[in-house]
Amino acid sequence: MQRLILVRHGETLSVGPKRLRGQDSLPDPLSALGARQAAACGEALAALQLPEPRVYASSYLRAQQTAQLIGHALNVPVQVLDGLHELDPGHWTGRPQSDLQTLGHLLTRPDGSFGFPGGEDQAAAARRGQAALKAALAQGGTPVVVSHGLMIRVLLSELLGAGGPLCWGSGPYDHPAAAWSELSGQGGRWTAVRLRATAPVPQI
């Protein structure tokens, strides 16, 4: 039996409505609140007493900062894995993230697949994301993978066998900042132990 934890990064310093962004958001750091969220997440994961936890992060700064705080709580180092970064929104870059809920149907292609015009589609994101997870799982232990909102939706959709629309609208795979999901797998089949779990964040 394998266990897998998928974590969304904490809040960032962005101001105003959350917008879809691509590679230009790579250097965005966590806000003070985001750091507290990540630390609280780490403490909650430490309480689970995961067997041989191994922490992985995407190449984006906010994911690595989140992973570092989780790794500190678990007393393990962080490894950066290619393939875990956020989806490229293409022509939708700069649009409010809320458009995914209200206009997500526009992302349906004639063949029934989902993807951003001029950007990345669900299938391509799933391939690179699953390759990253395969590399993490091959190292043994319990992977704690820190990634991004849309990528986590894609991965859960693939691992749990759900339909593509769950990637774009609100729903059980839409993770708030520093939320995590725990999966249990055997023989290549995965089931959800918990989805969108969050930890109380101390006030300052």
Which three-class secondary structure string do you get for 72-124? HHHCCCEEECCCCCCCCCHHHCCCECCHHHHCHHHHECCCCCEECCCCCEHHH
In order of start, what are the domains of the chain with their CATH numbers?
2-10+28-86+99-182 (3.40.50.1240)
| Regions of the chain with pLDDT less than 50 | none
- How far CA 105 is from CA of 163, 165, 167, in Å, comes to 13, 8, 11
Look at residue 76 in the predicted model and tell me its pLDDT.
99
Residue environment code for 65-74, b if the CB has 16+ CB neighbours within 10 A, otherwise e: bbbbbbbbbb
Q: List alpha helices for the chain, DSSP H.
A: 32-47, 61-74, 99-102, 122-138, 149-159
Distance CA 183, CA 136 (A): 14
- Please give the structure tokens belonging to residue 57: 């992060």
Look at residue 195 in the predicted model and tell me its pLDDT.
96
Q: Could you tell me which of 138, 152, 200 has the C-alpha nearest to residue 5?
A: 152
- Please give the structure tokens belonging to residue 78: 């962080």
Each residue of 41-81: pLDDT tens digit? 999 999 999 999 999 999 999 999 999 999 999 999 999 99
Look at residue 168 in the predicted model and tell me its pLDDT.
64
